[in-house]
């Protein structure tokens, strides 16, 4: 046990950590770099997802609108 009694642990001196301005700025810079990396990865994921959705929405070039139904009934889309 670090302290001999509950009373001693309650009134233990507080711990103070001194950090230089340069180290603080470096830590902030590293945190921002990490945020940028996370954002870049997310943007890449969203761009891939958007591309896949666009491909799903593009009409098929081999069939016109209603071409699949025309093939079923043997007619053409204009009558």
Q: What is the pLDDT of residues 49-67, one digit of tens each?
A: 999 999 999 876 555 555 5
The pTM assigned to this predicted structure is: 0.49
| Alpha-carbon gap, residue 2 to 15, rounded angstroms | 15
pLDDT tens-digit map of 6-65: 667 677 778 888 889 999 999 999 999 999 999 999 999 999 999 999 999 987 655 555
| Alpha-carbon gap, residue 6 to 12, rounded angstroms | 10
């Amino acid at each position: 046990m670090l302290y001999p009694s509950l009373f001693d642990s309650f009134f233990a001196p507080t711990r103070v950590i001194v950090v230089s301005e340069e180290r603080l700025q470096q830590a902030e810079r590293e945190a921002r770099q990490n945020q940028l990396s996370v954002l870049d990865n997310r943007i890449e994921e969203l761009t891939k997802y958007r591309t896949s959705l666009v491909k799903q929405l593009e009409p098929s070039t081999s069939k016109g609108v209603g071409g699949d139904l025309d093939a079923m009934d043997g007619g053409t889309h204009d009558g």
